[in-house]
Amino acid sequence: MHEMGTVLTIVDTVEDLCRQYRVPALGYVKVEVGELSSVLSKYLLLLWPQGTKGTVCEGVPLQLEQKEGIAQCRGCGKQYRVTDHLEEGYPVCPFCDSKNYSIVQGADIFVTELGIPDS
Ligand SMILES: [Zn+2]
């Protein structure tokens, strides 16, 4: 299970952003989780309280947004949703049957938004 590492990476990113933009307090942290990232949202939420102890994120709610995994076919150039077109675990283009692709979305985890509480 590598979700704890992911939590710590998120916390690092948030701390950097807070320093960079001089964020005084956090209302929430919004994170985009790509469905191809192999990170499970439920474990992120489960480990969040433990992994954020003593950091700027302690006590701050974590909001997750699932992002679809999209591949672009190198054969015909069209895009398709990876999880809908898997054959033996590998993406296959539904338009031209090519197995040559690049992932254009949904492979990573990003901090997309930091909420600032109303004061
Ligand atoms: Zn294709």
| Full-model pTM | 0.85
Q: Which residues surround ligand 1, an ion (CB under 5 A)?
A: 73, 75-76, 93, 95-96, 98
CATH number of residue 33's parent domain:
3.30.2320.80
- For residues 35 and 83, the answer to whether their CB atoms sit within 8 Å is yes
Residue 53: which residues within 8 A CB-CB, separation 6 or more?
Answer: none
Q: Which domain holds residue 78?
A: 3-115
Ligand 1 centroid vs 79 CA: distance in angstroms?
Answer: 8
CA of 101 to the centre of ligand 1 (A): 8
Give the tens place of pLDDT for each residue, 33-86. Answer: 999 998 999 999 999 999 999 999 999 999 999 999 999 999 999 999 999 999
81 C-alpha to ligand 1 centroid (Å): 12
Tens digits of residue pLDDT in 95-112: 999 999 999 999 999 999
In contact, 9 and 33? CB cutoff 8 Å: no
If one counts the domains in the chain, the total is 1
